[in-house]
Amino acid sequence: MHKPHVTVAAIVKNKQQFLLVKERDKFTQQICYNQPAGHLEENETLAQAASRELLEETGLNLKPSGFLGVYNLHAANGVHYLRFCFLFEITDETVMLKPEDSDIISANWHNYEQIKELPLRSHLVLKCIQDSLNKAPLSLDTIYDN
């Protein structure tokens, strides 16, 4: 039976800026940029996983404001990722970013034009940002959690 890797991602917007983490790709060892993201863990909801990853990778303790969508990625390494992307809003420009995850080099704000020029972890990084700019987020109730 095929079992894709279930992952979550956090799109965090502050006016015209997006929060990205700088990290080293574990497969290629190259430095790249990604949304705060990671795998779903046992006994947590998708929204909880997105909030946890955001906290671990940036130090921000936020709850999602909306659900952006589900994204399929068949990566070059042969892994199938099923990504659930959540939208987070922040208005405090002076918030301190403090990654707790040792795999994260830094967390920084970037505008859309800057992001297009960065080495991104995958094309989904830009796709999710574009979707956050071009479509309304879905209600968190879209995902049923028992």
Q: Identify the pLDDT of residue 97.
A: 93
In the predicted model, what is the mean pLDDT of the chain? 94
Tell me the sheet residues that pair with 44: none
Q: Identify the pLDDT of residue 26.
A: 80
Q: Identify the pLDDT of residue 17.
A: 94
Q: Identify the pLDDT of residue 93.
A: 66
Q: Identify the pLDDT of residue 25.
A: 84
Considering just the CA atoms, what is the radius of gyration of the chain in Å? Answer: 14
CA torsion 50-123-101-89 (nearest 10°) is -40
- Band of the pLDDT at 145, cuts 50, 70, 90? confident
Q: Which pLDDT tens digit goes with each residue over 20-38? A: 999 998 878 899 999 999 9
**Local structure of 21: helix, strand or coil:** strand
Average pLDDT (67-82) is: 93
CB of 6 closer than 8 Å to CB of 82: yes
Q: How far apart are CA 73 and CA 87, in angstroms?
A: 19
Sequence letter at residue 60: L
Higher pLDDT, 9 or 95: 9
Q: Which pLDDT tens digit goes with each residue over 87-121? A: 999 977 678 899 998 889 999 999 999 999 999 99
